[in-house]
Every structure is written in C-alpha cells, then in structure tokens.
C-alpha cells in the first residue's frame, strides 16, 4: 500500500531539507535530555522548541506541525544509534493508505496477538 497525504516520508524529506533549523533544534534538545533520561517524548521536544521560538526569538515565524514529530523521532534514532529506543514509535494500522478498503484490510489482518 502506498502512503498518501501530507505526512508521507517523501514529503518529510523535502520538509526537512527546506527547514534544517528544525532538525538542529530537535537534535539539540534531544541530546540535552538524553543526558538525564533513558527515554523521552518527541512531542515534548517540539513543545520546547515552540516555547523557544514563541518567547525567545522576537519575530520568529516558523511553525512546528505535530505531523512531523514521528519522522523527526525516527530520524534522530537512525542518526544517533546509541539512542535507538529513546523515543517510542508505533506502526500505524490506518494512516495515509490509498483506499479505505486497503486500510480496513490492514486492520483485519492482525496477528494472533492482536497487532
């Protein structure tokens, strides 16, 4: 099934390329919190970045869309393998599939443990 929608991997690669400052901030705060925690919330990292831009940077205009959080979390764990389980990620059963029928079929084909 080919994903579609705004938050696809292909769209993330372009978004990330166009917005390197977001990746830099995500890495900065992820490494900072990794000094004190074994795991953490990627969404909390985004909230910290929002705080910094809203309060700390006069005239900051860029926005952080929650749809990219899981992409940044996965990228971080790929590029920093020492933190491979730092963020919890999930495989979505229903998300950006070509059709409702494909999504329904994906949900119905669970394994014996219910996943």
Which of residues 109 and 17 earns the better pLDDT score? Answer: 17
Our count of domains for the chain comes to 1
Residues in CB range of 103: below 8 A, 6 or more apart: 93, 94, 95, 97
pLDDT at 112: 46
Query: Looking at residue 58, what is its pLDDT?
Result: 58
Position 25 in a domain: yes
| Residue 19 domain-assigned (yes or no) | yes
The predicted-structure confidence for 44-75, as pLDDT tens digits, reads as follows 999 999 988 777 665 666 678 899 999 999 99
Do the domain assignments include residue 113? no
Other beta carbons within 10 Å of 97: 19
Q: Residue 94, Cα to own-chain centre: how many angstroms?
A: 17
Domain encompassing residue 32: 9-108
Instruction: Compute CA distances 77 → 16, 37, 60, 70, 98, whole Å.
Output: 15, 15, 28, 11, 28
| Cα-Cα end-to-end distance for the chain | 18
């Amino acid at each position: 099934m080919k994903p579609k929608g705004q938050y696809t991997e292909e769209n993330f690669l372009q978004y990330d390329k166009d917005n390197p400052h977001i990746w830099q901030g995500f890495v900065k705060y992820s490494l900072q919190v990794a000094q004190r925690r074994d795991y953490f919330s990627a969404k909390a990292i985004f909230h910290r970045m929002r705080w910094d831009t809203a309060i700390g940077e006069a005239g900051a205009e860029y926005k952080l869309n929650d749809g990219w959080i899981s992409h940044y979390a996965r990228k971080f764990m790929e590029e920093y393998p020492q933190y491979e389980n730092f963020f919890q990620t999930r495989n979505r059963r229903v998300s950006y599939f070509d059709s409702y029928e494909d999504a329904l079929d994906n949900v119905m084909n669970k394994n014996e443990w219910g996943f």
